[in-house]
Amino acid sequence: MSKRFHIRAAVLAALCVALLPLGAHATAAPAPTVPDPDPFYAAPADIADHAPGDVLQSRRADAWMYPNTDVWQLKYRSTNSAGAPVAAVTTVLMPRGHGAGTPLVSYQAVINALGVKCAPSHGLFTYEIGEAPSLYLGLVARGWAVAVPDYLGPNGAYGAAEYEGRLTLDGVRAVTRFEQLPLADSPVALVGYSGGALATSWASAMAPTYAPELNIVGTAQGGIPADLGLIAQNLGYSAIPHPAFGMALAASLGLEREYPTEFPVSPNLNATGLALRDRVSNECRRSIILGGAFRSARDLSTVDIASLPSAQAVLRKNSLVDYPGVPTAPVYMWQGRNDFITPFAPVEATVKRYCESGATVEFRPYPLAEHFSGSIVGLPEAYAYIEARFRGEPAPSNC
């Protein structure tokens, strides 16, 4: 092989590198999700033959931390963002001694995570899910059945809101179809805060067209991430590196898992970014928040990934403020005006659009609350709102 050939090859290689975004790694694929080693989570070979919401497998779970409660885990069929069938899991807490017509709450827990080991089907028994005591004492103790779906799916798609809404609704379908629970004709409520509100709000807005057969009587959602693009800018490119930057990074990596071509995070990360990505890509909220605290997107890449046209389209597709669907069931929404993670303005704009479309909305803006205090001040009224819907009382509206 000639010396001239080697020189030309070297020049071409140098040109290819020069044409890449500065600091990018052209061969960097999305960080793979480590699958759950428990065979219960695996998709069956015939999954495509089942309808969304069909129960694929069930099992009883240890209920020692949930007294007087039967715990079931249901594996069911849903669909990912590419239209392919996936197997998801929901965990059902059923109070003993309650029969047909027991109210059913689909509770979307806060899952600021990328690893499937952090999902509620595990975290409800390890207290990785911090709301576990609250949902037991506040919901199950009232005599309500509570289903807690792994709404990030089998690939930990944190931030993929449309997918999360679909997984949530298919989880409710699975619970109402499961013959060993008396919940086929139960009234249903959807509840969630923060990341759980992302899934909840999308499920509520998608239900009229995606799952109109479900008897959803009310939704309660607070601390809502209504505009993912705005959140990405606020957490990723703030003048002072944000303490919650890890959440923005996790959402970016979760979106890349569902939209690898349109949301190309990994190919645009520098060495520091790839190292942090690999460190958090299968971890739970503590590792993600600590690993990303007070970092900036500028530290990880010279490319503003969220501003790429294809990424902007993905962010709009998964932002509630841009989704045209409107809930037909009554909605209770609350938001802190000083929320520094999920901004107030897009939520207010969404409420305005819902009201103009004829939805029944009770909106509570809390003047002094930020993101964390917002959950504390809003949840008691949210639970009372749901209880009134289960009693059949007319829903209030302050539109």
The H or E element that residue 197 is part of is helix 195-210
Work out the mean pLDDT of the chain and round it to a whole number: 91
Q: Which residue has the tokens 């001694």?
A: 97
Provide CB contacts within 8 A for 72, sequence distance 6+: 58, 59, 60, 61, 91, 92, 94, 178, 180, 181
pLDDT mean over 347-374:
96
Contact, 241 vs 294, CB < 8 A?
yes
Interatomic CA distance for residues 379 and 366, integer angstroms = 12
Interatomic CA distance for residues 361 and 397, integer angstroms = 5
pLDDT for 225-254, tens place per residue?
999 999 999 998 887 888 999 999 999 999
Q: Is 276 left (phi over 0), alpha (psi -120 to 50) or beta?
A: alpha
What does the DSSP assignment read for 127-193?
T-STTHHHHHHHTGGGT-EEEEE-TTTTTT-TT-HHHHHHHHHHHHHHHHH-TTSS-TT--EEEEEE
Helix, coil or strand: residue 237: coil
Identify the pLDDT of residue 63: 79
Residue 10 has pLDDT above 90, yes or no: no
pLDDT mean over 57-69:
92
Catalogue all structural domains in the chain, each as residue range(s) with its CATH number. 39-227+317-390 (3.40.50.1820), 228-316 (1.10.260.130)
1 vs 293 pLDDT, higher one:
293
State how beta strands 85-95 and 69-79 pair. antiparallel
What does the DSSP assignment read for 256-276?
HHH-TTTS--GGG--HHHHHH
Identify the pLDDT of residue 153: 97
Q: Locate 397 and state its tokens.
A: 């509206």
Provide CB contacts within 8 A for 73, sequence distance 6+: 40, 58, 59, 60, 61, 89, 90, 91, 92, 121
pLDDT for 123-156, tens place per residue?
999 888 888 898 999 999 999 999 999 999 999 9
Query: Over the Cα atoms of the chain, what is R_g?
Result: 22
Rounded to two decimals, the pTM is 0.92
The H or E element that residue 195 is part of is helix 195-210
- Residue 41 CA to its chain's centroid (Å): 18
Contact, 125 vs 61, CB < 8 A?
yes
Residue 12 has pLDDT above 80, yes or no: no
Contact, 333 vs 364, CB < 8 A?
yes
pLDDT bucket at 29, cuts 50 / 70 / 90: confident
Provide CB contacts within 8 A for 363, sequence distance 6+: 333, 334, 348, 351, 398, 399
CA–CA distance from 287 to each of 244, 292, 299 (Å)? Answer: 12, 8, 18
CA–CA distance from 159 to each of 114, 247, 271 (Å)? Answer: 10, 9, 24
Identify the pLDDT of residue 206: 98
Q: What is the largest CA-CA distance in the chain?
A: 86
pLDDT mean over 88-95:
98
pLDDT mean over 87-115:
96
Identify the pLDDT of residue 332: 98
